[in-house]
Chain A
């Protein structure tokens, strides 16, 4: 294992290399682009054998990846924002076909208006598509989770595609120390690809053809059950990763917690800003406020068990959403609220479209929450952003 200073995108490209991916469908979109550029560079220098298909759109990127996966080779693609929305149709098609595929999403706001900065809405809006959805909080996790994604996706008890989210720019472009596993370690962890059906003239099978209602609904249920049951399988592969590759980050649970055990109050969030939240928690702890954090690492499957165990019995739970479900609040909040009982849950939607929410904002938000605020949903703006005046049609008379 070697230590290298690389960005999140380079970490993902490295994971693709280590996983011995057979084909990558590539189409550039900010902030994911440098993943595929790195892969193309590796290919040009003969470092990887991966077949690279330079397609003309994200829709085709997912379709080409799907085709290769059907023919029985390991396949990968990456996208973001509008690109993910453009491939939405194929995202569903792949999950419906129960074909192992791995994708990384460098999260970003969705237009209109144009905005290239970080937000989780593109990612969370795919939560009903039947994919397993992991979310990294640093480049190291982006690498580890991408490798684990292949293992989980190709497990015969799962056979579902997996997407790994990663905060655009904040992780994708920021360089930090990353421990890169050796090829032998990954070969030991990740066996060659196996799948129950391969499209091949030697054994003709059909996939995706017209299904009568009863059969269709049964298939839908099979996806639901596979996704639900993948919870334990993810923990199992996480433990194995800790044993065979690296014990540095604990992957034995779907979610990660910080100073939560003895906490009266809990904060729930997903992604890179967990770092700021941890620092804020340390500050508040020094002031005597008993607060902790639960970081959602898997949005799907949603581990009700872990969420309940960690949050029930707390005096209050504050959810920080970097995404929206308009007219309703944040998707994470909706999930948490529907999981735990007898505990007050409050939601803050913030950090959209790249709005910076740092340690001081978190200290402010957390302490206000502990003091007690009653509204269900609040949109929070850091000071300078709060002063901005954006005119909307309702304001114009």
Chain B
């Protein structure tokens, strides 16, 4: 049964108006939806990145939740400490680590992996804008092949590190992917994660107008295009099986996929992409969906 957005959302407003985000910011959207999904009893550990800027300059603060700001590699470990302390005090609190793709795929990966292996009772949300956007758009481990960044002006030569699969390999109870283009799907996944004990990982695609080079009015549209062209899958891994969201059921068959060019052509970062790079990207997408089908 699918409910309308109004029915599923928690009334808690996790974002107060007047954030320091850029126009069209997808992380702002994702943070607002976090409160809708998890409600009031939530503590967020914000790892260095755009989200620590969006929060605003002290003493002002745009997040309507308790927040611990912390250095890159420390998020999952600090959250482990918080979660265990709440358990000791007999409190039911959702402890969330909120990190970008750099903090997740690169500098913070060891502590993420450690917390996942220990099956800490925390929710890890990775907001993936596919580059180090807060420091000006440098390449990250999560940048896709062919994308121009400020440290790969010729286009990145390697494929994106596939974090959701890496987390599935950690044998954690829950892994999900989401896109800010589909709030309904994302919020439902947050609600599901809340019901589960142990380590939960949610990877949200957050297209960034300034790094991806598209008009800020089109953030949601691009986030949808990523899913429609099957570049970004929406799935849940739970009880050892993957369930694909209905928004991308068409991706399971290669013949019904929308061409990847529709996604690439609307962004400036792919303007120098060559035909053979597009072929490599298509291969990456094919392989990814084969893997998803194996786990279904």
The closest CB in chain B to the CB of A86 belongs to B73
The closest CB in chain A to the CB of B113 belongs to A56
What is the CA–CA distance of A204 and B67 in the complex, to the nearest angstrom? 8
Interface size of B by CB at 8 A reads: 48
* Option from B57, B88, B114 in Cβ contact (under 8 Å) with A60: B114
What is the CA–CA distance of A4 and B64 in the complex, to the nearest angstrom? 53
Which residues in A have their C-beta under 8 angstroms from that of B91? 200
Check B88 against A23 for contact (C-beta < 8 Å): yes
Q: Give residues 88-106 of B contacting A (CB, 8 Å).
A: 88-89, 91, 93
Interface 1/0s, chain A 181-211, versus B by CB < 8 A?
Answer: 0000000000000000001110111111111
Check A207 against B67 for contact (C-beta < 8 Å): yes
Check B69 against A208 for contact (C-beta < 8 Å): yes
Q: Give residues 71-96 of B contacting A (CB, 8 Å).
A: 71, 73-89, 91, 93
Check B82 against A67 for contact (C-beta < 8 Å): yes
Q: Does chain A have a CB within 8 A of B3? A: no
* A-B pairs under 8 A by CB, number: 159
Which residues in A have their C-beta under 8 angstroms from that of B259? none
Check B55 against A67 for contact (C-beta < 8 Å): no
Q: Is the interface of A mostly helix, strand, loop or mixed?
A: mixed
Check A206 against B81 for contact (C-beta < 8 Å): no
Which residues in B have their C-beta under 8 angstroms from that of A59? 73-74, 77, 111
- CB of A154 to closest CB in B, whole Å: 15
Check B66 against A201 for contact (C-beta < 8 Å): yes
- CB of A92 to closest CB in B, whole Å: 9
Check A64 against B43 for contact (C-beta < 8 Å): no
Q: Give residues 180-224 of B contacting A (CB, 8 Å).
A: none
Interface 1/0s, chain A 1-39, versus B by CB < 8 A?
Answer: 000000000000000000000110100000000000000
* Contact A210/B66 with A55-B114, A71-B85, A93-B74 known, Cβ cut-off 8 Å: no
What is the CA–CA distance of A215 and B60 in the complex, to the nearest angstrom? 12
Which residues in B have their C-beta under 8 angstroms from that of A207? 67-69
What is the CA–CA distance of A199 and B110 in the complex, to the nearest angstrom? 25
Which residues in B have their C-beta under 8 angstroms from that of A62? 74
Which residues in B have their C-beta under 8 angstroms from that of A93? 70-71, 74
Check B57 against A211 for contact (C-beta < 8 Å): yes
Q: Does chain B have a CB within 8 A of A323? A: no
Which residues in A have their C-beta under 8 angstroms from that of B110? 56-57, 60
Nearest 4 interchain pairs by C-beta: A67-B81, A56-B114, A71-B85, A60-B77
> Which A residues contact B (CB, under 8 angstroms)?
22-23, 25, 51, 53-57, 59-73, 75, 89-90, 93, 199-201, 203-212, 215
